[in-house]
Amino acid sequence: MFFITASDDRPDGWVNLSDANHWPVWLGQNIPPDLHADVRARLGSNLKHILVGLELKKALIQPHAQGGGVLFEPYFQTLIFEFCVGVFSVLEGLGSAHWLSQQHRDGAGHGKINRNAWRPALCAVYDPAGDHGLDAAVSQTADVRDKLHQDQIGARTAIDWHAMGYEAAFIPADLAIRTLLLRHSDVTPGTTNLTGAPA
């Protein structure tokens, strides 16, 4: 049995180190305060659950990639895809929030914000000098996330499942989330496995 804690204390099953209620402090520092209170609350509620899901997926993906043999190979790629979708949701959510703030809008009643708008807004806040390669990581993560759009099924070529592998998909998405977590890193949950300085 694989343990997320790498511990033998619970031979009966899984152990998790953090939960959704450990994330609101960091999210509160990263969701702009000038957004409408309901928008901030909904975004924070959505993202805290996504972040916990990312922790679990990363805890399974990395040991398998390092030779641990934790997963059946098809599920390894599926988990990487799910990790990228989750990371994209965090990027989109925070990027949209910062775009709204930069446009002096509170987000109440606002529709979907175009990726071409929120992506530079996100990078301006989390990687303004481009030192961490966030913009490229966002692009690569979005490409993976877009591969299974069912509304594009008649227009696309066959899916290249190697493009959802560890190096091509997980590494850029992991870099993106680690870059975001550098901001106000002092209030990230102490038990999270999502942090660590990007290259």
User: Model pTM?
Assistant: 0.87
Q: Count of alpha carbons within 13 Å of 11, Cβ hemisphere only?
A: 1
Mean pLDDT rounded to a whole number for the chain: 86
Say if residues 179 and 90 touch (Cβ distance below 8 Å): no
Residue-level pLDDT at 164: 77
Query: What are the extents of the domains in the chain?
Result: 20-187
Residue-level pLDDT at 147: 78
Nearest to 47 by CA among 16, 80, 23: 23
SS3 call for 17: coil
Residue 134: pLDDT above 90?
yes
Residue-level pLDDT at 167: 92
- The conformation of residue 124, written as its DSSP 8-state character, comes to H
- As a whole number, mean pLDDT of residues 13-37 equals 86
Q: Looking at the chain, how many residues does it have? A: 199
Residue 47: pLDDT above 60?
yes
- Who has greater pLDDT, 35 or 75? 35
Q: How far apart are CA 115 and CA 131, in angstroms?
A: 21
Say if residues 70 and 92 touch (Cβ distance below 8 Å): no
Give tens-digit pLDDT for 49-79. 999 999 989 988 888 888 877 677 778 888 9
Q: How far apart are CA 22 and CA 110, in angstroms?
A: 29
Residue 9: pLDDT above 80?
no
Residue-level pLDDT at 122: 98
- Who has greater pLDDT, 169 or 153? 169
Ordered alpha helix ranges (H), 22-133: 24-30, 37-63, 73-102, 115-126
Give tens-digit pLDDT for 77-132. 889 999 999 999 999 999 999 999 999 999 998 888 999 999 999 999 999 999 99
Give tens-digit pLDDT for 183-197. 999 999 998 999 976
CA 98, 129, 50: angle at the middle one, nearest 5? Answer: 40
Q: How far apart are CA 152 and CA 98, in angstroms?
A: 29
Residue 3: pLDDT above 50?
no
